[in-house]
Amino acid sequence: MSFDATNLELAANPESPATSAGNPSRAALLWQSIERFLSRAGDWLNPILVKETRQAIKSSQFTITFVLVLAACWVATIAIVAWIGPRIFYSAEGSTLLAGYLSILAFPLIIVVPLASYRSLIAEREDNTYDLLSITTLRPRQIISGKLGSSIAQMAVYFSAIMPCLAFTYLLRGVDLPTIALVLTFMFFWSLGLSMVGILLATLTLQRFLQVLILVAFVAGLIYMFLMAIAMSGTLAYWGRDLWSPNGEAWYVIAALATAYFTTFALAYFAAAGMITFTSENRSTPLRLCMLIQCAAFIGWMSGAWIADDYAREAVFVLASMAGAYWYAMGTMLTAERPTVSQRVRRRLPQSFLGRIFLSWLNPGPGTGYMFVVANLTALAILCWIGMMASDILPTRLRTWPSFEELSYLLTIGWGYIVAYLGIGLLIVGTLRRFAFVTMLATVLIQFLLLLAGFGIPYAIKSMSLELRDADYSFLQITDPFFTLYHLLDGGSADGPVLVLIVPGVALCVLLLNMPRVVRELRIIREAAPQRVAQDEAELHPPPEALPQSPWDEPA
């Protein structure tokens, strides 16, 4: 049988009016033109979104959840209206019903959709379709976007199911449209964020037992989030309208949360895409850029808080502590990168003198990753130092904690601890790599174990020693960053001068020991693409024809 390709879309639905009628009517022609338009529009949709939407429509999971949501809405409507009773005629009860409906909506949005996203990617691996997908010309980001798009499509259907109920809450009064829109937006982004987390978790490992562990933890987290979502959406349903007051500081909080949300979302998105990207591709630079943007956004918000709080040193302290923890966590992953740079990555390395000076820290590699963290930490410490000095100069209310001295110790010694621990970890991993292949997970574990040893061993010795047990702080604890920094901020400034010499001194030594590795990575220079690649590139993207520049020029 010869297959009629041109009628493929129509053939997929033999009952369509265009094929069932002998002489197509005006309605059938209209239907055909709509279908053609949709088919053309569908060409530009993400293939995974198209496929998963087709699958979802036919799946029993989707049907059952959809019917359950509808049924629950009906039951809730009847039950709440019955509970309200005659008050419904004179009392504004929209908020009560809205809170009830949002609790129902939270189940598919917070539990079903993120779990489906997680399962969707895991099932691709279990059913052996992931290999088939990864050898297509779909890019990893398209795969992740397709999965997210599928989550959004599912959310849209659940939103549409509950929409008549939301209209009903508005008619009952007590809740305004902006509040409804705010709550729905909040639920949407919450669900989308959790779906992104689900997708990221699905890329982490191929080992079945680890996948089971992750799934259990993820489900537990989703249940917790579900309860949180019920509580928060209920709160917003009742008191959301208070946000609209012109002096509401809540908007600053929402804007700060939105900044944190979108930058973290981008980080998770690029991390998930990186996890499924072929190893020769550059997976590091987009993540480093995300980290820079996230840190810059955090600095921006904290600067705002610092100004709003009369240039108080607490804001500088919070910025330094949180950003330090952030860069340590990111550093454990950046130092876990593979030390080899593929030919493919080398073709796109910065070429110019200035490019090599400023952009080489974005190149993949554990050495450049380490230096990237050190550079960011240093810039952050300088910034905090400036803020701290400004706090002393600018008019401010009387502040007692932390003092200038305490904060300066925190900045210097905190910087030293992070640089030293990450650097020692990098040296250990570099040595291990001479004998065996060290995975990213193993490197991260080594970094954390190192920190744990630095904190745990002195603690264990102190606990077991009769002399030291009751002592406040001794230099035995110098490897313990938590206790040392706490001690300095808690009246232990007397030990500061010694610690300032030792900790940053050790950090500088470790930094110097790592310099050969960093220099080795920086000496990798850009390489020209092979002739075959250049030829293919020219065929794929031919250069535009040269247009005449003046009336005397010959046309090309």
Instruction: Tell me: does residue 14 bind another protein (CB under 8 A).
Output: yes
Let me know: does 116 contact 218? Beta carbons within 8 Å.
Answer: no
**d(C-alpha 104, C-alpha 518), whole Å:** 54
Residues of this chain, 316-375, that bind another protein according to CB under 8 A: 342-344
Of the residues 12, 393, 398, 466, which one makes contact with another protein according to CB under 8 A: 12
Nearest alpha carbon to residue 187 among 262, 109, 118: 109
**d(C-alpha 290, C-alpha 294), whole Å:** 6
Binding segment (CB under 8 A) for another protein, from list 40-48, 250-258, 370-378, 492-500 = 40-48
Let me know: does 190 contact 109? Beta carbons within 8 Å.
Answer: yes
Instruction: Tell me: does residue 137 bind another protein (CB under 8 A).
Output: yes
- Closest distance of CB 415 from another protein, Å: 38
Instruction: Tell me: does residue 434 bind another protein (CB under 8 A).
Output: no
What's the token pair of residue 206? 């191929």
- Closest distance of CB 176 from another protein, Å: 41
Output 11 or 386, the one with its CB closest to another protein. 11
**d(C-alpha 139, C-alpha 51), whole Å:** 16
Instruction: Tell me: does residue 145 bind another protein (CB under 8 A).
Output: no
H/E segment holding residue 469: none
**d(C-alpha 349, C-alpha 346), whole Å:** 5
Of the residues 21, 25, 37, 51, which one makes contact with another protein according to CB under 8 A: 51
Instruction: Tell me: does residue 470 bind another protein (CB under 8 A).
Output: no
Residues of this chain, 276-305, that bind another protein according to CB under 8 A: 278-281
**d(C-alpha 255, C-alpha 91), whole Å:** 34
Of the residues 27, 132, 255, 501, which one makes contact with another protein according to CB under 8 A: 132
Those residues with Cβ within 8 angstroms of residue 422's Cβ, 6 or more apart along the chain or in another chain: 328, 331, 332, 335, 370, 373, 447
Let me know: does 414 contact 324? Beta carbons within 8 Å.
Answer: yes
Let me know: does 285 contact 350? Beta carbons within 8 Å.
Answer: no
Of the residues 15, 43, 467, 470, which one makes contact with another protein according to CB under 8 A: 43
- Closest distance of CB 139 from another protein, Å: 8
- Closest distance of CB 363 from another protein, Å: 16
Instruction: Tell me: does residue 86 bind another protein (CB under 8 A).
Output: no
- Closest distance of CB 19 from another protein, Å: 13
Instruction: Tell me: does residue 469 bind another protein (CB under 8 A).
Output: no
Output 13 or 245, the one with its CB closest to another protein. 13
Residue type, 59: S
Instruction: Tell me: does residue 133 bind another protein (CB under 8 A).
Output: yes
Binding segment (CB under 8 A) for another protein, from list 135-143, 252-260, 353-361, 505-513 = 135-143
Instruction: Tell me: does residue 136 bind another protein (CB under 8 A).
Output: yes
- DSSP string for residues in 189-223: HHHHHHHHHHHHHHHH---HHHHHHHHHHHHHHHH
Nearest alpha carbon to residue 481 among 516, 518, 506: 506
Segment 52-58 long-range contacts (CB within 8 Å, at least 24 positions apart)? 52/120, 52/146, 52/147, 52/150, 52/153, 53/150, 53/153, 56/150, 56/153, 56/154
Instruction: Tell me: does residue 32 bind another protein (CB under 8 A).
Output: no
**d(C-alpha 261, C-alpha 244), whole Å:** 21
Of the residues 1, 82, 171, 528, which one makes contact with another protein according to CB under 8 A: 1
Binding mask 509-538 for another protein (x = CB under 8 A): ---------------------x-xx--x--
Of the residues 22, 44, 90, 551, which one makes contact with another protein according to CB under 8 A: 44
Nearest alpha carbon to residue 121 among 97, 92, 151, 93: 151
Instruction: Tell me: does residue 90 bind another protein (CB under 8 A).
Output: no
- Closest distance of CB 120 from another protein, Å: 11
Binding mask 52-71 for another protein (x = CB under 8 A): --xx--xx------------
Output 344 or 399, the one with its CB closest to another protein. 344
What's the token pair of residue 45? 């949709």
How many residues bind to another protein according to rule CB under 8 A?
Answer: 45
Output 309 or 527, the one with its CB closest to another protein. 527
Instruction: Tell me: does residue 135 bind another protein (CB under 8 A).
Output: yes
Instruction: Tell me: does residue 128 bind another protein (CB under 8 A).
Output: yes
Those residues with Cβ within 8 angstroms of residue 271's Cβ, 6 or more apart along the chain or in another chain: 200, 287
Instruction: Tell me: does residue 9 bind another protein (CB under 8 A).
Output: yes
Output 142 or 396, the one with its CB closest to another protein. 142
Those residues with Cβ within 8 angstroms of residue 361's Cβ, 6 or more apart along the chain or in another chain: 288, 368, 371, 372, 375
Instruction: Tell me: does residue 207 bind another protein (CB under 8 A).
Output: no
Of the residues 32, 35, 50, 119, which one makes contact with another protein according to CB under 8 A: 50
- Closest distance of CB 117 from another protein, Å: 16
Let me know: does 410 contact 485? Beta carbons within 8 Å.
Answer: yes
**d(C-alpha 502, C-alpha 96), whole Å:** 61
Residue type, 209: F
| Phi-psi sector, 491: left (phi>0), alpha (psi -120 to 50), beta | left
Of the residues 15, 131, 467, 470, which one makes contact with another protein according to CB under 8 A: 131
Instruction: Tell me: does residue 37 bind another protein (CB under 8 A).
Output: no
Instruction: Tell me: does residue 539 bind another protein (CB under 8 A).
Output: no
Site residues (CB under 8 A) for another protein? 1-6, 8-9, 11-12, 14, 40, 43-44, 47-48, 50-51, 54-55, 58-59, 127-129, 131-139, 278-281, 342-344, 530, 532-533, 536
